[in-house]
Structure 1
Amino acid sequence: MPPRISGQGVRFAFREYTSASAQASTLPRAPKPRKWPARVAVAAGLLGGGYAYDRNFNASAVSRSLRTAYIGILCTLDYKINFSPRNADKIEGLHQRVADRLRYVIDTNQGLYLKLGQALGLQAALLPKPYREAFGHVFDRAPSVPWAEVVEVFQNDLKLHPDDIFDYFSDEPLASASIAQVHRASLAPKAGEAKGTIVAVKVQKPAIAKQMDWDLWSYRTLMYVAEKLFDMPMYFVANYVSQQMRLETSFRNEANNARRCAELLAQTPELRDDIYIPKVYGAAEGYPESDRIMVMEWVDGCRLNDKEAMEAMGIKPRDAMDLAIALNSAMTFSWGFVHCDPHPGNILVRQHPTKKGKPQVVLIDHGLYISLSKTFREDYCTLWRSLFVLDVPKIEEIARGWGIAVDANMFASAILLRPFRVSQKKEENPGPELSQYEQQVELKRRMRTMLENEQLIPRELIFLTRCQRMMQANNQTLGSPSSRVNLSAKWASIGYTRSLTGSRDLRSVGLWTWIKDRSNAVIFRFTLGAVDLAFWITTVKQRLWPPAKGEGWEDKLQKQFESMAREEFGIEIDDKVFLG
């Protein structure tokens, strides 16, 4: 049996235990090891490893987005704190700081951000001056990628080296843009040929595929923040522009666009001999195809705005410009399939192969197209024709249908990109001069009123207006040799006539409609004739007394349009970014 312990022994043992515990509690305790240095080291290691992975294997896609987020937050806070009546005299400096930050993001991130900068530039004309200047460089040449990365794209997409496909392939690109660069190459000569066909090979920069989703998400976020920041409707175009950007990075889509454009051109007798679309080499010709590699026929020519080169070839700049405007107008009003990047570098001019002294216009870079629905195209053709027959009710009806509430004169001028009055407007008594802060608050109010229903606004208008402005800028650069508005209006009339369904004879439409059709046709021709006469008089004056730079026909129209926008709507327009 175990020994028995008395109650007194238990009490003694307890007193000894508690006494020892008390003494032990008075002794200094050993310090606990600190955990935060280890945690910081682990966090730093994870961040460093994540940054290294993102930079070396993910084309810095996450880092670029974080940079954009940081700048976006900084700009938002700057506006929230400093855009107020008490800082009315410092508003210009605020805009300058924010514009400089946005330019920094575009210049640092490069790649698709240059395209996104162009998309932002579409709306920059309605923003304060510093923003217009910040986006003025987005059409410039972009840096190229080294030869090793070009080879990497071929091996990843085709499992081939460029030398396996081409008889010759230039190591250095001849041109570099935001998402791709172009190399000169030659195909292997066929039997009986001394040398192969010279081609242009467009190669997408490898970082684009990794960066695209992050960049487009950043763009949409930036547009959302900008809408909240400026309190103006801007985000409604973000998804549409993102979709077009995504399509533009697919060279299979670009090849299909080029082929479709060539087919539509072949069905247009007025243009098919004078416009040329370079051939695309693909599976049908026995060459591999890829979303990041495209092989095209090589075509020599000068840029549309190179007046000296055209004159050296014996070509009149007016003939080339007329063709370029006619092509853009046919696409818009007749085809409903529009090349949306008519930058002068994408429109080449060469001597016509069969017409001595005449130009042939070559259209390249078919990545960005929009398709116009039949309903929108009919409305757009009707709108242009209505502008020239002064059908104010129809103009206002179309504007309301597009969710745009604006004075008919301003709407007409914005569509034509020239001052145009279709109705008499009462002059309002000018109020007291507003401060810069008050002017911009008033502009926001007017813009919100004008775009009363942003869901109804056709997204296509964004790109069509951009195309019109680019064609106007091309004409300006050449000294305004072409009557842009009239040429476009004539094609609008052609598109309007072709879009009509059913007979328009007296028996079918009735006496009143029949008379209206005929009177509208007379007014249309008279208005075009009046504009042509004014253009001709200006052209004669320019030949007799050469104007100073910036005083051509388009320049005058642009200045008058800017003045009208400023006086009647409070908008400062200065979109010289399209003059590149």
Structure 2
Amino acid sequence: MKGTTNTLRAVPIVAYSVYDYVHNLKGLTYPSEEYVQMRETINTRVAQRLLYLATTSGGIYFKAGQYIGTLERIAPKEYVEVLKVLQDRGPQLPYDKIKIVYENDFKCKIEDVFSEFDKEAIAAASLAQVHKAKLKATGETVAVKLQFPRLRMQTKYDLFVIRKLIDFANYLTKRYNFDGIDFSKFNEHFQNSLVKELDFKTEVVNAERTRKQFENYPNLHIPLNKVTYSSNRAIVMEYVDGVKINDVEALKEKFGDPKIASEMLIDIFAKMIFNHGHVHCDAHPGNILVRPNPKDSKKPQIVLLDHGFYCDLPDTFRLDFCNLWYSMVTMDYSTVKSISFRLGIGEYYRYLPLLFTYRTINATKPLGAPVTKDEIHFLKGKDEVNFEKISFLLQRLPSEVIFIFKAMHIVGVHNARTGGQTRKRLLKFSYDCMDALAHGHSFFYRYWLIAKFWLKLFLFEYSFRLFRYFFGFMEVKFDEKNRAIEEGAAVQ
């Protein structure tokens, strides 16, 4: 019944939203000011419809809204602004309706296992909610994560409907030649993440793998899972108290400088991406707590929650991405180009430095410096960066790169909120990248990579003529029709 209700709600919203774009942008010349203003207005209207769909339908519709709300610098800003409210708190079911999940899975009464069980959830997300409880056998305080009942059956139905809606949206955009946007890539990314999150046993496996990888790392804690009390739809884990990573005032009160916690978080994700190839892909504030380190209460410790969605990078891909990152931060854009073509990104490689390091491929500014107003004006004037081209880029990027970018970006947001520097974050990523590239080589190879990195960075930022002379520099220029022409200023 709920699946039918969701469909009856979703179909007209999606259909009317596509019609809104097609009808109201028809006849407007792209990229005129009138076109851009109208599209921003439509973006806001559509985002508000999606917000309504997410909050009334719940489940994967809520998850989709949350997902879009985190895609800053990817999704249109109007979508992000409207949908980011979904990050704060999800829908919550009454105790009587949620407890049946545990009771059905374990064929017992919840009172048989827990001496205390708070009826009010302490956290609620798109797929589950968490209650504080106490184990009857040991007296230990635990957190109990329970998946919403009938979610699996409902999700299969909703995913089928979403696939059909996306096919319909693609048909209309191609039929009316609306900017050539293809929604299928978003569907692929989202559905891949959702399927992984529905099986809570996968979450336990991911958590244990991360614990093993960071077992000698004192700045990260993964709550212990009580496997004998857990199932595919329920997880009982160690209860951990802490403040959210985005609660800057609480971090100041407890630890003084909030940047200490965000720098720890950067270090953790740098190691995940470049060294371990096992990346937590849902690092929103609700999943990152900061508590006093048990060994030194004056120092913070990161507590990472919700291990349902990870991106696993094969070693060959991980090393390709390490080389891609090293080439971007050392401005070796010819190598960026060759790796990008190998990964299937093609001509859109020239947008990667802008996405990952905030530098256009022509920029000569320092690493970590913000995009200037002149650069924005130039890019818009040359029509080099717009929603359509970013959309095409996303269609070409491998899923792994999308998830890495999302993880890096969310960590960057947390860093900025605590007053951290973009340059320090990019440098930390670069050092872990060089560690990964040096693994298996001689003792001196890492120092050679570091020395070359700093030499190129110093010359690039303080003597660009010398950098260009010794290392070459790929530039992108434009012809009279604003079409990109690649030129190598010098040969390396």
Alignment TM-score, normalising by the size of structure 2 = 0.80
Does structure 2 retain, via aligned residues, the 8 Å contact 1:61–1:210? no
5 Å-filtered alignment, 1:347-386, equals 347-386=288-327
Partner Cα separation in structure 2 for residue 354 and residue 239 of structure 1 = 43
AA in 1 matched with 2:194:
M
In structure 1, the residue matched to 2:143 is 200
Q: Matches of 2:433 and 2:451 in 1, distance apart?
A: 16
Kindly state the Cα deviation for residue 126 of structure 1 after the two structures are TM-superposed. 4.3
Offset from partner CA, 1:378-419 (integer Å, 9 cap, x none): 011111112233322211111222222447663212123x22
* 1:532 positional shift: 12
In structure 1, distance between residues paired with 2:193 and 2:77 = 27
C-alpha deviations, 1:302-342, integer Å up to 9, x for none?
11122222232235322211111111111111110011111
Shift in CA distance, 467/149, structure 1 to aligned 2, threshold 3 Å: same
Residue of 254, 269, 274 corresponding to 2:219: 274
In structure 2, the partner of 1:131 is 79
Contact 1:202 1:295 in 2 (8 A): yes
Aligned-partner SS, 1:181: strand
What SS does the aligned partner of 1:135 have?
Answer: helix
Distance in 2 separating the partners of 1:485 and 1:532: 15
Q: Does 1:323 align with 2:264?
A: yes
Which SS does the other structure have where 1:384 is aligned?
helix
Any gaps of 5 or more consecutive residues in structure 2? 29-33, 366-373, 463-481, 485-492
Asked if 1:183 is matched to 2:131, the reply is yes
Q: Is the 8 A contact 2:43 2:79 kept in 1?
A: yes
User: What secondary structure is seen at the aligned counterpart in 1 of 2:86?
Assistant: coil
Opposite residue 480 of structure 1, the aligned amino acid is G
Q: Verify the 8 A CA contact 1:409 1:422 in the aligned structure 2.
A: no
Alpha-carbon spacing, 1:528–1:185, altered in 2? closer, same or farther (3 Å): farther
The one-letter code sitting in structure 2 at the alignment partner of 1:238 is N
Tell me if structure 1 keeps the 8 A contact 2:243–2:289: yes
2:16 to 74, 77, 81: 74
What does the per-residue CA deviation read over 1:153-179, in whole Å, with 9 as the maximum and x for residues that have no partner? 122211112111112111111111111
**Alpha-carbon distance change, 207 to 324 in structure 1, aligned in 2, over 3 angstroms:** same
Q: Does 1:105 align with 2:53?
A: yes
Structure 2 residue 90 is matched with structure 1 residue 142:
yes
| Cα pair 1:392 1:423 within 8 Å, conserved | no
Structure 1 residue aligned with 2:452: 523
Structure 1 residues 520 and 245, CA, compared in 2 at 3 Å: closer, same or farther?
same
Contact 2:330 2:457 in 1 (8 A): no
**Aligned partner of residue 308 in structure 2, secondary structure:** coil
- Work out the number of aligned pairs and report it: 442
Which structure has the larger Rg over C-alpha atoms? 1
Determine if the alignment matches structure 1 residue 334 to structure 2 residue 275: yes
SS of the residue 1:273 aligns to: coil
Report 1:30-429 matches (<5 A).
54=1, 60-85=2-27, 88=35, 90-121=38-69, 125-190=73-138, 196-228=139-171, 229=173, 230=178, 231-266=180-215, 269=216, 272-283=217-228, 287=229, 289-406=230-347, 410-416=351-357, 418-419=358-359, 421=361
Identity of aligned residues (%): 30
Q: Distance in 2 between matches of 1:474 and 1:518?
A: 30
Tell me whether 114-123 or 207-216 shows the greater mean CA deviation: 114-123
> Structure 1 residues 524, 174: closer, same or farther in 2, change over 3 A?
same
**Which secondary structure does the structure 2 equivalent of 1:357 belong to?**
strand
Cα distance change, pair 243–446 in 1 and its aligned pair in 2 (3 A): closer
User: Mean alpha-carbon deviation: is it higher for 470-479 or for 124-133?
Assistant: 124-133
Contact 2:142-2:238 within 8 A present in 1 as well: yes
Question: C-alpha deviations, 1:41-95, integer Å up to 9, x for none?
Answer: xxxxxxxxxxxxx1xxxxx012202321122222233333332125857444443
Q: Which amino acid aligns with 2:310?
A: Y
CA shift for structure 1 position 465: 1.1
- Correspondence 1:471 to 2:417: no
Q: 1:448 to 1:150 in 2, by over 3 A?
A: closer
Cα displacement (A) at 1:424: 7.0
Cα distance change of structure 1 residues 224 and 326 upon mapping to structure 2, 3 Å threshold: farther
Aligned to 2:472: none
* Distance 1:127-1:153 versus aligned 2 partners, 3 A rule: closer
CA 309–103 in structure 1, closer or farther in 2 if over 3 Å, else same: closer
In structure 2, relative to structure 1, the CA distance for the partners of 1:358 and 1:392 (3 Å cut) is same
SS state at 2:235 partner: strand
TM-score (normalizing by structure 1)? 0.68
Q: 1:188 to 1:526 in 2, by over 3 A?
A: farther
SS of residue matched to 2:115: strand
What's 1:511 paired with? none
Deviations 1:12-36 (A, max 9, x none): xxxxxxxxxxxxxxxxxxxxxxxxx
- Aligned residue number for residue 576 of structure 1: none
Gaps of 5+ in 1: 1-53, 55-59, 191-195, 506-513, 534-567, 571-580
